[in-house]
Amino acid sequence: MIKCKTSKEIGGMGHSIKRKEDARFIQGKGNYVDDIKLPGMLYMDIVRSPYAYAKILNIDASKALEIPGVVAVVTGKDLEKYNLHWMPTLMSDTQMVLPTDTVMYQAQEVAAVIATSRYIARDGKEAVMVEYEPMKPLINAHKALDADAPLMRPDKEGQTNNHIWHWEAGDKEATDKVFADADVVVKEHMYIPRIHVASIETCGCVASYDKVDNHLTMYMTTQAPHAIRTVIALVAGHVGLTEEKIRVISPDIGGGFGGKVPVYPGYVIAIAVSFLTGSPIKWIEDRSENLQADSFARDYHIDVEMAGTKDGKIQATRFKVLADHGYTDASANPSKFPTGLFSIGTGSYDYGTAFMEADAVYTNKPPGGVAYRCSFRVTEAVHAIERITDIFAKEVNKDPAQLRFENFIKKEDFPWKSPTGWEYDSGDYHAGLQKAMDAIEYDALRKEQVEKRAEGKLMGIGISTFTEIVGAGPSKDFDILGIKMFDSAEIRVHPTGKAIARFGTKSQGQGHETTYAQIIAEELGIPSAHIQIEEGDTDTAPYGLGTYASRSTPTAGAAAAVAARKLRDKARKIAAYLMEVSEEDLEWEPGKFSVKGAPEKSKTIQEIVFAAYTNHPPGMEAGFEATHYYDPPNLTFPSGAYICVVDIDNETFEIKVRRFVAIDDCGNIINPMIVQGQVHGGLTQGIAPAMYEELIYDEDGNILNGTFMDYLVPTAVESPSWETGHTITPSPHHPIGAKGVGESPTVGAPPAIANAIVDALSVYGIQHMDIPITPYKIWKKLKEMGKI
């Protein structure tokens, strides 16, 4: 049981409070971007390229413009007149808004049709005739650096090949030496495929420019409204749209998972058209457009090696990555981290030597490299380390659980310096794995497996014991386009003791309206039911970098606690004044200050707040408000121990996940119900890439599964009944000891599932299979091996 410091009425941390936001969602009263309708609003639809790589010879919009209701057709040449045809990406690369001469991926935006209705805009789109000269595209990242590869980015000065960047971490020389001297070296090539977040709401916006006031209101599906406002000002400042003239409103968001961090061309075109016409412009993507053109995740080719002793002690790891970014690097990593936080990939294990390197290349695929519930490449790294750990265990003939126990960093060794430079804040990996093994009855399962194998049945057990790295981040290292990655909270308590608090983050389903109120309730003793939370309006909320990468609780949640503590300090002063005692004589318990030794003499927080407006001490500033911008001293390091059991049909190779136990450690828990919900959802987004999802391209760059008919998002049938639990190792540096949890299950689940499947197939001598592992892939592999 989680211990709560506050009563249920106050509803601070640890209470499973039902969500405040649900009332509107269950009654159809959410306000998503496509629900916004403004007077005189026009609709935009986008003509997209059927080719992955082609010259645009001509765009003929005349037939479209003849359709009654079609107002305009906008091309790259039109935007070029205002120098708005290119925009910067968050990684300081450049991306076309609309092309002037060449298309670089299938489904790229080619022209925009503006019309008086959604249907007429679509008619107009069908009527725009584009003449292309197709060219042979570069699709295979492994061929990107070949001498005869087409140069993807001749527009970039000094760019003579398709290489984007090289990155390294760790000590190459020391690592090579350990490998050269090691008893045991195992290696594997792993491809972490290109996937898509596929939030059920696609992306879209309503751009509304007021010509009289020279003011833009931009309603959009964004996880980071403040940063986006700054980006818009950087892109459009030269045409007079400066930052004070831009208001970004992120209304209710129907799932984000990282896919709603970037600035997509559609947003910019909508702004440009609204700016030129003075009419509000609505643009809402179709699902197919969303899957085919919006930022992808993953697409990492990883060579991973592990060196160790014969008795199973891990000594070193080596990683080499080839990253396919499509035609521009449109990732959303912190600026100094082109591979995000991939260097967490040394894992939960106690060894001192590692080296990692990565190279990124351009290809004729959609840009991105952002997110799928984990933006900063932790999933890729964790998959590699957790799979190679299993391969190493097999090589030294040890049970994978036992090998992990023997190599875990011990809880007394935290804070722990990783070989790639991180300082893990806290963890108790032994406790987590033990709890997961007890819950699933590991030893009994291993016995059953022996029996099943004797009967010729395929059963596998897979473990993943991951360390996450979230809460970006400390300003000395973390920025996006130079803006430091702090986050903010502003609390205003009204005279009657009720409050409103605003944040620089933006919930997309995480339940911030409930959990942030709980943090403030914990610190101030004002019931969380009396605290209203607002986010997503840049005119009212304090500046922050938004919600992604499990950063809201580590940054804005911390800001809420610190701001509330500032108010508690003020409350103490007021209480001392009201009760005519010194501050030192006062004792705090949630909701009131009382006099030490005379508990009957007390003032509630509500009385104190009222006094702040009606009877505040002379010389003190009136009111009861505080703001804090929290700059974390370190990242937080959640962890988890996941165990998966699979049964595989030995004729059809259908994979059935029989059980899945997830024990998560996200530090102190604000709302167990919400944390559990996050874990459930993350696990389903873990089984998805492990068994179902991959964006597949043919050699001509055609996407083969760009709709929900064939991009397989798990339904309730594919998704197992998840079994969840927790351990608690508070973060020592976080004001409320919390760590963040949203990403963890998506990071931890795929290797547990892959390890289970490979464990089942190990009877055939299989050491590794790339995800998604499907019945067909198993059949094909066994056929190739001559096993069937």
**Is residue 685 involved in binding other proteins (CB under 8 A)?**
yes
Residue 182 CA to residue 698 CA, distance in Å, equals 41
Q: Smallest distance, Å, CB 287 to other proteins?
A: 4
Q: Which residues are catalytic?
A: 223, 373-374, 743
- Closer by beta carbon to other proteins, 525 or else 742: 742
Tell me how far, at minimum, the Cβ of 286 lies from other proteins, in Å: 5
CB atoms within 10 A of CB 240: 9
How many chain residues are in contact with other proteins, going by CB under 8 A? 67
Q: How far is the CB of 677 from other proteins (least distance, A)?
A: 5
Give the span between the Cα atoms of 215 and 242, in whole angstroms.
9
* Shortest reach from residue 673's CB to other proteins, in Å: 4
Q: Which of 677, 732, 762, 768 binds other proteins (CB under 8 A)?
A: 677
Q: What is the DSSP string of 155-180?
A: TSTT--SSEEEEEEEE-HHHHHHHHH
Q: Which of 684, 731, 744, 755 touches other proteins by CB under 8 A?
A: 684
10 Å CB burial of residue 699 (0-12, 13-18, 19+) is: exposed
CB of 657 vs other proteins, minimal distance in Å? 12
Task: Tell me how far the alpha carbon of residue 682 is from its chain's centroid.
Answer: 11
Minimum distance from residue 717 beta carbon to other proteins (Å): 5
Residue environment code for 707-718, b if the CB has 16+ CB neighbours within 10 A, otherwise e: eeeebbebeeee
H-state helical runs in 349-419: 378-395, 400-407
Contacting other proteins (CB under 8 A), which of 45, 78, 93, 252?
Answer: 252
Alpha-carbon gap, residue 338 to 321, rounded angstroms: 12
724 touches other proteins (CB under 8 A):
yes
- Residue keyed to tokens 């992306």: 203
Sheet containing 487-493: order of strands: 531-535, 499-503, 487-493, 625-630
CB-CB contact of 709 with 692 (8 Å): no
- Could you give the C-alpha distances from 262 to 231, 245, 257, 295, 331, in angstroms and in order? 10, 21, 12, 8, 8
Binding residues for other proteins restricted to 689-718, rule: CB under 8 A: 707-709, 713, 715-717
Using CB under 8 A, which of 590, 623, 672, 732 touches other proteins?
Answer: 672
Residues 20-39 that bind other proteins (CB under 8 A): 21-32, 34-35, 37
Q: Which is nearer to other proteins, 463 or 687 (CB)?
A: 687
Of 509 and 638, which has the nearer Cβ to other proteins? 509
Nearer to other proteins, 193 or 682 (CB): 682
Any contact of residue 722 with other proteins (CB under 8 A)?
Answer: yes
Q: 3-state DSSP call for residue 596?
A: coil
Pick from 370, 377, 220, 389: which is nearest to 297 by CA? 370
> Which stretch in 107-115, 349-357, 678-686, 732-740 sits in contact with other proteins by CB under 8 A?
678-686
Per-residue binding letters, 262-301, with other proteins (x by CB under 8 A): ----------------------x-xxx-------------
Q: Read off the DSSP letter of residue 556.
A: I
Q: What residues contact residue 311 under an 8 Å CB cut-off, 6+ apart?
A: 396
Q: Determine contact, residues 469/346, Cβ cutoff 8 Å.
A: no
When the beta carbons of 7 and 705 are compared against other proteins, the nearer one is 705
DSSP string, 275-316: HHH-S-EEEE--HHHHHHHS-BB--EEEEEEEEE-TTS-EEE
> Is residue 198 at the binding interface for other proteins, with CB under 8 A as the rule?
yes
The minimum distance between CB 273 and other proteins, in angstroms, equals 20
Q: How far is the CB of 277 from other proteins (least distance, A)?
A: 21
Stretch that binds other proteins, among 247-255, 393-401, 537-545, 578-586 (CB under 8 A): 247-255
Please state the closest distance from residue 748 (CB atom) to other proteins, in A.
14
Residues between 382 and 411 with contacts to other proteins, criterion CB under 8 A: none
Residue 673 makes contact with other proteins by CB under 8 A = yes
Binding mask 507-536 for other proteins (x = CB under 8 A): -xxxx-------------------------
User: x/- site string to other proteins, residues 726 to 765, per CB under 8 A?
Assistant: x---------------------------------------
CB-nearer residue toward other proteins: 416 or 692: 692
- In degrees and rounded to multiples of 5, residue 460 shows phi and psi of -135, 150
Residues 6+ apart with CB under 8 A from 412: none
The answer for residues whose C-beta is within 8 angstroms of residue 590's C-beta and 6 or more apart is 5, 6, 7, 10, 12, 521, 522, 525
Identity of the residue, 745 or 751, whose beta carbon is nearer to other proteins in the bound complex: 745
Residues 623-662, interacting with other proteins (CB under 8 A): none
Is 683 a binding residue for other proteins by CB under 8 A? The answer is yes
Tokens describing residue 32? 């998503």
Task: Specify the residue, 563 or 687, whose C-beta has the smaller distance to other proteins.
Answer: 687
Question: Which tokens is 619 given?
Answer: 């010389």
Q: Which residue has the tokens 């022996």?
A: 450
Least CB distance from residue 716 to other proteins, whole Å?
Answer: 4
- Scan for tokens 């009111």, then name that residue: 623
CB nearer to other proteins: pick between 287 and 572: 287
- Rounded-to-integer distance, Cα 107 and Cα 353, Å: 44
DSSP 76-135: HHHHHTTT-SEEE-TTS-EEESS-SSEE-STT-EEEEEEESSHHHHHHHHHH-EEEEEE-
Tell me how far, at minimum, the Cβ of 370 lies from other proteins, in Å. Answer: 16
- Rule CB under 8 A: say whether 255 interacts with other proteins: yes
- The verdict on 317 binding other proteins (CB under 8 A) reads no
Where in 68-127 is the site for other proteins (CB under 8 A)? 118-119
Q: Does 202 bind other proteins (CB under 8 A)?
A: yes
Q: Considering only the stretches 78-86, 193-201, 461-469, 471-479, report the one whose residues sit in contact with other proteins under the rule CB under 8 A.
A: 193-201
Minimum CB distance to other proteins smaller for 167 or for 708: 708
Least distance from C-beta 705 to other proteins, angstroms? Answer: 11
Rounded distance between C-alpha atoms, residue 276 and residue 241, angstroms: 12
> Under a CB-based contact definition with an 8 Å cutoff, are residues 491 and 501 in contact?
yes
Q: Does 50 bind other proteins (CB under 8 A)?
A: no
Residues of this chain that bind other proteins (CB under 8 A): 16, 18-19, 21-32, 34-35, 37, 118-119, 197-202, 252-257, 284, 286-288, 508-511, 672-685, 707-709, 713, 715-717, 719, 721-722, 724-726
